Homo-oligomer: A and B are copies of this chain.
């Protein structure tokens, strides 16, 4: 398993008229969570794309327990529980400023060759980053 934690402050433009962070914006926060997890293992997502691999999202699930409000500092904990093969599943937990779990979810992303647009296996240099953790 690999795990990482990052923080985001809710922007005004990300709230809606209920005064909550709009439910669709968590996809952005999850994106930041997984990008920072990969970065902490030495892999910038942009570097992966530069090497010819894109990672479109195959599925997403979110269970919302509580809202986050404007200017709140939320904490995103991101996990990968299984060594990636043709896809990589990220699990997320978001905690509010009182450290209460406000939502959790997952996204599965597939490895795709940027040029041929065909599915591919996770590149070896990518797997090598995490190999001691699974």
Q: Cβ of A127 < 8 Å from any Cβ of B?
A: no
| B interface footprint on A28-60 (CB within 8 Å = 1, 0 otherwise) | 100110010000000011100000001011111
B31:A46 contact, CB within 8 angstroms: no
Q: Cβ of A118 < 8 Å from any Cβ of B?
A: no
A76 to chain B, nearest CB (A): 13
Number of chain A residues whose Cβ lies closer than 8 Å to a Cβ of chain B: 39
A31:B45 contact, CB within 8 angstroms: no
B13:A16 contact, CB within 8 angstroms: yes
Contact of A64 among B16, B56, B62 (CB under 8 A): B56
Contacts of A82 in B (CB 8 A): none
A66 to chain B, nearest CB (A): 9
The answer to whether A24 and B17 touch (CB under 8 A), given A44-B71, A62-B59, is: no
Q: Cβ of A12 < 8 Å from any Cβ of B?
A: yes
A57 to chain B, nearest CB (A): 4
Q: Cβ of A123 < 8 Å from any Cβ of B?
A: no
B12:A57 contact, CB within 8 angstroms: no
Q: Cβ of A101 < 8 Å from any Cβ of B?
A: no
The answer to whether A22 and B18 touch (CB under 8 A), given A35-B71, A45-B71, A61-B61, is: no
